[in-house]
């Protein structure tokens, strides 16, 4: 007798929203800037270590997400919406 294996429904792939991420940074007391050469500066001196760890987790190992954050800041600096 053969056994049929049925896989469950695929898990949804979590999406990353750079505007929401930047808002979360500001909500914990942080800030950000995009300097010349598209250098990304994150200001976290007024944030707790736990808040920073939770916030940074989605960026670690995901250069595409860091680039999305840069692009969102650029849009805002150029008069567009986040």
Tokens representing 10 are 């695929």
82 within some domain: no
30 within some domain: yes
Domain, as residue range, for 49:
18-77
- How many Å apart are CA 56 and CA 14, to the nearest integer? 16
Is residue 32 within 8 Å of 72, Cβ to Cβ? no
27 within some domain: yes
4 within some domain: no
1 within some domain: no
- How many Å apart are CA 15 and CA 80, to the nearest integer? 22
41 within some domain: yes
3 within some domain: no
pLDDT score for 7: 65
8 within some domain: no
pLDDT score for 17: 96
Domains identified in the chain, total number: 1
pLDDT score for 1: 47
Ranges of the chain with pLDDT below 70? 1-14, 80-82
- pTM (2 d.p.): 0.77
pLDDT score for 48: 95
């Amino acid at each position: 007798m053969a056994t049929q294996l049925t896989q469950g429904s695929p898990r949804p792939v979590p999406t990353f929203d750079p505007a929401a991420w930047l808002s979360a940074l500001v909500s914990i007391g942080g800030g950000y800037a995009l300097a010349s050469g598209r250098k990304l500066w994150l200001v976290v001196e007024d944030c707790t270590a736990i808040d920073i760890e939770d916030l940074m987790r989605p960026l670690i190992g995901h250069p595409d997400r860091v680039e999305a954050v840069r692009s969102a800041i650029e849009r805002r600096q150029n008069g567009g919406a986040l």
